[in-house]
Structure 1
Amino acid sequence: MKVEPRYSSTFLFPVKALSNVFRAKFLSGLIAAHSRGELKLPDELAQFSRLCAFRQWLFHTVPKAWVVYSKPPFSGPAEVVKYIDRYTHSTAISNNRIISVKDDSVEFWFKNTRNKSRWETSALPVMDFIDRFLWHVLPKHFHRIRYYGFLPNGQAGRHIPAIRQALNDQATPDPAPLKEQQP
């Protein structure tokens, strides 16, 4: 069975559909935040402090088309999959990267992306380290993607050739990635 995309294959997702979904998700989150009292409006918008007035205002302003800026990845599709994989199958920092924890600081290894494959150390005040770590904690009701879709638990090698065949993609398969060594 051959699967034909209904949009230009330049992007991972069709831009118009992505724009519509982004707008719907954004507005849904905005309304939910307003109804929970988490949306603080400036004094100039006080007339929208009631949820009914806020929804009515959105109804009249939202019909305009939204455009989500989307462009091809710099490195290609394989790099996009690797990038997503890093953030969906791991935590913010593993225990073996933490060198020491003192009363006032945490020292840890990090990979300097400007100098590829070079591991360096950094020390942060404890509260700054915790703050950075919490950037990676998902909000309530969000779930980390694990073992899902066509790339679960190391199955990419099995599924990607079938997907390429279904899409009639003649790209050469990527070589097996080398496991990065950490100090």
Structure 2
Amino acid sequence: KYLFPVKAMSKVFRAKYVKALKSRVIPEKELIDQLFKKEWVVYAKRPFGHPKAVLEYLGRYTHKVAISNHRILDIGPAQTRFSYKDYRQGAQKLEMSLDNLEFIRRFSMHILPKGLVRIRHFGILGSSAKQLTIPLI
């Protein structure tokens, strides 16, 4: 069912996370102890669909910004309304309204950390190569 034992992945991820934390700040020993006392959960499962579906899914998230301006329908004093596609319902276009703080929180989760860059228009998912590379993959 899983590619790797989930408990092992949790321990590896936790250790790498704490190592990265230590390289950026000097955390208190108490914090480190608390991080290792808790059981961490890594959710990893086989992708559904076929390889092409996985590539299309990744392509949506590696080539675009979190939300483009044309999808924002209204920004009010308390709420932001925007359109989105529900891919579970055949890419049906829907609208959603969120409190402004919740919209900003969700948008912020898509901001890449310093040093990471989005894939633009090159590589195996580049528009000029996509027709050739997807069948090969």
The normalised TM-score by structure 2 is: 0.70
Shift of 1:28: 4.6
Match of 1:142 in 2: 116
Q: For 1:61-116, what per-residue CA distance to the aligned partner results, in whole angstroms no more than 9, with x for missing partners?
A: xxxxxxx8865432011111101101101111111111111111111112234433
Runs (4+) of structure 1 moved beyond 6 Å?
A: none
- Which runs of 5 or more structure 2 residues have no equivalent in the other structure? 35-41
Residue deviations 1:131-165, cap 9 Å, x none? Answer: 1101100011111122343222341113345x36x
Point out the structure with the larger helix share: 2
Say whether 1:122 aligns with 2:83: no
Q: Distance in 2 between the 1:34 and 1:79 partners?
A: 38
- What is the TM-score with the length of structure 1 in the denominator? 0.55
* Partner of residue 157, structure 1: 131
Post-superposition offset of 1:41: 5.2
Task: Give the match's secondary structure for 1:155.
Answer: helix
CA distance in 1, matches of 2:66, 2:116: 16
Larger mean Cα displacement after TM superposition, 74-83 or 35-44 = 35-44
- Quote the Cα distance in structure 1 between the aligned partners of 2:16 and 2:130: 34
Give the match for residue 55 of structure 2: 81
In the TM superposition, 1:33-44 aligns within 5 A as: 33-37=21-25, 39=27, 42=30
Q: 1:122 to 1:70 in 2, by over 3 A?
A: closer
Cα displacement string for residues 42-62 of structure 1 (whole angstroms, at most 9, x for unaligned residues): 46838xxxxxxxxxxxxxxxx
Change (3 A) 1:101 1:148: same
Q: Is the 8 A contact 1:92 1:133 kept in 2?
A: yes
- Answer with 1 or 2: which has the greater Rg: 1
2:67 counterpart of 1:96: no
State the distance in 1 between where 2:121 and 2:65 align: 15
Identity %: 33
Inter-CA distance 98–27: structure 2 relative to 1 (3 Å threshold)? same
Amino acid at match of 1:117: A
**What amino acid maps onto 2:123 in structure 1?**
G
> Could you tell me whether the CA contact under 8 Å between 1:30 and 1:39 is conserved in 2?
no
Stretch moving more, 25-34 or 138-147: 25-34
Matched-pair contact (CA < 8 Å) for 2:18–2:32: no
